[in-house]
Amino acid sequence: MSTAATPDKDRTDPVRERRAYDSPVRRQRAAETRERIVEAGSALVHSFTTWDWRSLTFRAVAERAGVSERTVYRHFATERELLDAIMRRLEEEAGLTYDQVDLDDLATVTARSFATLSSFAVSPWTPEDFGVPTLVAEDRRRRDALIGAVGRRVGAWPDPQRRMAAALLDVLWSVPAYERLLAAWKLDAGQATDALTWAIDLLVEAIRDGRAPGRVGRAGTAGEPPVGPSPSA
C-alpha cells in the first residue's frame, strides 16, 4: 500500500478541525455564553445605588456571570463594547428604541421608561453620572432622536426653534424631572408619570399646530408680531 494512502494519526485534519470549530453546537454555546454575560451586566446595573458605571468592569461582570475574564474578553474586545451591549439590553427591557422615536408615541415611550426605574436600586440622578462614555453616548442618541422627531414635523422652523422644542421634550423626558416630582412635590410614581406625559402631550400638540417657541406674549410662530391692534391704532 502506498504511504500516501495511509492517514497520519498524529496529524489533525485542518478541514475537520475548522468544521468542528464552526459547528452549530459551538455557535449555540457561544451565543448562550454571550447572553449570560450581558444578562449579568444588566443585573449588576439594576443592583447599583448610583448611575456610576465605573465599577461595571470585566471582572465584576465575569464574576456575576460565573465565567472567567478571558471568556468575557472573547466576546467583547473592549470595555466600551461590553457596556454598550449592556445598555442595549436595558433599552430592550424598557421597550425603548431611539431609532423609532416619533412625537405621536413619545408620551407612551416616556411612561414606559419611567416605569422601569422601579427595577433599579439607583439613588437620585446626579450630573456626574454622565462621566461614563456609554451614558454620554446614550444621552446624545436620545437628543438626536428628539431633534429628528421634531424636525420631521416642523422642518421649516429655524434650527433654534427646533432645538428649543426638542430640548423641552428632553427635559420632560428625564429622570431628574421625574425624581423632582417625587421628592419635592411628593407625587407618587403614577402621578409623576401622568404629569410629565400630560405636559409632553401638550407640547407635542403645540408642535403639531406649528406654534414654535418664542417670546412670551407672542402669538403664532417665533418671531412673528403679536396678534392685535398695532400701537398706532
- pLDDT < 70 stretches in the chain: 1-22, 124-131, 215-233
Residue 36, number of CB atoms within 10 A of its CB: 17
Q: What is the rounded distance in angstroms from the CA atom of residue 185 to the CA atom of residue 7? A: 81
pTM of the model as a whole: 0.59
List, for residues 3-40, the tens digit of each pLDDT value. Answer: 444 444 444 555 455 555 667 888 889 899 999 999 99
Q: What is the average pLDDT score of the chain?
A: 81
Instruction: Collapse the DSSP code of 202 into the 3-class scheme (helix H, G, I; strand E, B; otherwise coil) and give the result.
Output: helix
